């Protein structure tokens, strides 16, 4: 196993982590920004106003994107396991 193959494998794993986590993070960011603008306009300074909608939105994004996430992770894991014989040479 060469350092290049380890670097390539870790790079692919990090890219997959960012791709898989991006729907929840982006939706949480958009909801948080929207609620912050609403809070600034109406001058309501309630912490649960920002916390609860973001949690619900991230949970719903996770629920809807879970099949896609599972497919990506399964494909990555199968490719990783299938490359084990070539790594040990």
Find the domain containing 79 and state its range: 3-87
Distance CA 14, CA 21 (A): 11
Closest CA to 48 of 61, 35, 30: 35
- DSSP classification of residue 4: H
Tens of pLDDT along 18-64? 999 999 999 999 999 999 898 889 888 777 778 888 999 999 999 99
**How many domains, in total, are found in the chain?**
1
- Cα dihedral sign, 40-41-43-48: negative
Region 69-89: mean pLDDT is 90
Whole-number pLDDT of residue 23: 93
Reported pTM: 0.78
Q: Rounded to whole angstroms, what are the CA distances from 48 to 39, 40, 53, 68, 88?
A: 11, 15, 8, 30, 53
């Amino acid at each position: 196993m060469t350092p290049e193959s380890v670097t390539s494998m870790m790079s692919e794993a990090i890219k997959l982590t960012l791709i898989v986590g991006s729907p929840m993070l982006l939706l949480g960011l958009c909801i948080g920004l929207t609620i912050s603008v609403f809070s600034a306009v109406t001058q309501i300074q309630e912490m649960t106003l920002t916390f609860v909608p973001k949690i619900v939105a991230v949970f719903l994004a996770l629920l809807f994107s879970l099949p896609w996430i599972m497919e990506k992770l399964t494909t990555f894991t199968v490719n990783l396991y299938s490359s084990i014989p070539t790594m040990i040479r």
